[in-house]
Chains A and B, each alone.
Chain A
Amino acid sequence: MDEAVDTQSAILMSATALLRQRTFEDISYLDLADAVSVSERTIYRRFPTRSHLLEALGRWIEAEHFPMQGFATPAEFRAAAQRRFRAFEAEPAYAFVAARGVSLSPIADGTESPITSAISAMVRGAAPTLNPRDALRVTATMRYFASPLFWARMRTGFDMNAEEVVAAFDAAMDSVLPTRPKANRAA
């Protein structure tokens, strides 16, 4: 079992390294097989389609290159997300693959990611009286705005640099954070 996990990691590590020179589309299974010194069949067995590969690679890159620092309060969450946006900016090719990986039809089993669980716990802690429905809306919105998808859209759709992305994220969080006193909460 250990050996199986290692092959998988070796493939993803090689794919990540190849992304420094070319786009995901230009990385063939044969390139990967050569880089890892296994047969092309082994790559196909792990990743039957390129979508499998892209999804696994996106998750791998997010975990290995862009880990989000732990947070318990909304302020810590914001700081951690902002730090990650700056990290995306420093390695844009990786960040785009991470963004693409999470926007695919899911193939791997859909276990909740650690960031999602942490946001969920943070929202419960910051607003313990919030009803479950509103808590879910807040959690879902924060999760989505903290993702590499937000960074990718701000960068390609709005030509924003890292600091502008951070400011846009901040403004959105001001609107949805439950702890922020608002003039008109009921509506």
Chain B
Amino acid sequence: MSGAPPATELSATEEKILGAYSELIEEVGTDDVSFRLIALRAGVGERTVFRYYPTRVDLLLATAAWIERTIFTRQESDSVFDVPLAIREAMEGYDRRPELAYVVAETAMRGVNGAEPAPHRERFDELLRSEVPTLGAGERTRIVAALCHLDSSATWVTMRRELGMSGRDIADAAHWAAEAILDPIRHRVG
């Protein structure tokens, strides 16, 4: 099960394990959760958990990906100019489940294989190519990078912890920043 985990096709057992761990993260945090407790909550044997996730890092990365996919879901944007709104909604989602938002943020910043620092990169790139075809590659990458950076639980975490902002203010600021990033290309659609 190690290596590149499949994006969707998880077995029922894996779903149970990842769901159990994410519940426990909200109840007691990431640190104090033993594999035994996870197995118990998931209704599987401890050895089964180890078989799928040999180390704590494997389990954490898989759980973070699962949380992104199933809990912080949202509608896919049809246009890159819809992305600021999607970012606003994402921030509101993180604010409802703060403990899970922290886990996803920290996991993405590990700099190791399996961490997912820019999950929407391909989509944003594709939208920009089709909507603003005159953009040069460098400029396009920089806009995609800025939008990916904003469309992230780390935005919520940073604004919350560094500036003490409320969920509403964070959603508003992230939305505004994404609009500002898109401003220079707003009239270049073609």
Contact = CB atoms under 8 A, between A and B. Distances in A.
**Looking at B110, B117, B162, which has the most chain A CB atoms within 10 Å of its CB?**
B162
A153 interface: yes
Contacts of A4: none
Contacts of A92: 111
Contact of B31 (A50, A136, A153, A174): A50
Contact of B180 (A50, A110, A175): A175
A137 B173 contact: yes
Contact of A175 (B138, B148, B159, B183): B183
Contacts, number: 144
B111 A104 contact: no
Interface in B134-190: 138-139, 141-143, 145-146, 148-150, 152, 154-155, 157-159, 161-165, 169-170, 172-173, 176-177, 179-181, 183-184, 186
A88 B44 CA distance: 43
Q: How many B residues touch the partner, as a band?
A: 35 or more
B50 to A, nearest CB: 17
B105 A103 contact: yes
A106 B157 CA distance: 9
A172 B177 CA distance: 9
Contacts of B148: 153, 157-158
A182 B110 CA distance: 37
27 contacts: A23-B112, A49-B29, A51-B30, A100-B106, A100-B110, A103-B102, A103-B108, A103-B158, A104-B105, A113-B162, A136-B163, A141-B177, A141-B180, A143-B159, A144-B154, A144-B162, A145-B146, A145-B149, A149-B109, A153-B149, A156-B111, A158-B145, A174-B184, A175-B146, A176-B181, A182-B183, A187-B179
Contacts of A157: 117-118, 121, 145, 148
B106 A104 contact: yes
Contacts of A21: none
Nearest to A171: B142
**Looking at A96, A144, A154, A176, which has the most chain B CB atoms within 10 Å of its CB?**
A144
A83 to B, nearest CB: 20
Contacts of A167: 138, 142
A168 interface: yes
Dominant SS among interface residues on chain A: helix
Interface of B: 29-32, 56-57, 98-99, 102, 105-106, 108-112, 115, 117-118, 121, 138-139, 141-143, 145-146, 148-150, 152, 154-155, 157-159, 161-165, 169-170, 172-173, 176-177, 179-181, 183-184, 186
A105 interface: yes
Interface string A51-79: 10000000000000000000000000000
Contacts of B29: 49, 51, 105
A184 B141 CA distance: 23
Enumerate the 4 nearest inter-chain pairs by beta-carbon distance, A residue then B residue, closest first.
Answer: A157-B118, A157-B117, A103-B105, A49-B31
A104 B60 CA distance: 14
Contact of B99 (A49, A105, A174, A176): A105
Contacts of B56: 25
